[in-house]
Amino acid sequence: MEVILKEDVTKLGSRGDVVKVAEGYGRNFLLPHKLAIEATAGNKAVIVQMKAASVRKSAKEKTQAEELAKQFEGLSATFTKRAGEHDQLFGSVTSGDIADAIVKKGINLDRKQIQLHEPLKTLGEFTVPVRLHKDVTAHLKVVIEKEVVAE
């Protein structure tokens, strides 16, 4: 089945591309979620307009992402967690925890934008990439300190 993508779809293509997909993927996922439209002759004529709008929208999103990336310079998220021997945490710091800390600082950020492959489980200082746009990635400093337990 051929479809025209209305939005960027990871590992498939970007806005305005005509791609071949499995019948079930197209009918059950892409079309109902309005990520794509069927590639008919009439819809193919609309591609030109969609691509022009897409370029304008992408450029606007990229400039917004670059401005947001400037706010990440010098910004850090600090967590105080309980830790055992060898600086291993009881629990972990996840992308959701990092996103919550950044939102509290006044920057709107979704946890899916934080490129953390696995949760942080040790004390220390980490640099975590934050993907703000497909072409813009900022780096955030995350510090995990040991919680002092009063005995």
Three-state SS annotation for 67-111 = HHHHHHCCCEEEEEECECHHHEEEEEECHHHHHHHHHHCCCCCCH
Domains, the chain, with CATH or none: 2-63 (3.40.5.10), 73-146 (3.10.430.100)
**What are the pLDDT tens digits along the chain (151 aa)?**
999 888 888 889 887 788 999 999 999 999 999 999 998 888 877 777 777 787 888 888 888 888 888 888 888 889 998 888 888 888 899 999 999 998 998 888 888 889 888 989 999 999 999 888 888 888 989 999 988 766 5
Encoded amino acid at 112, one letter: K
Q: What is the pTM of this model?
A: 0.65
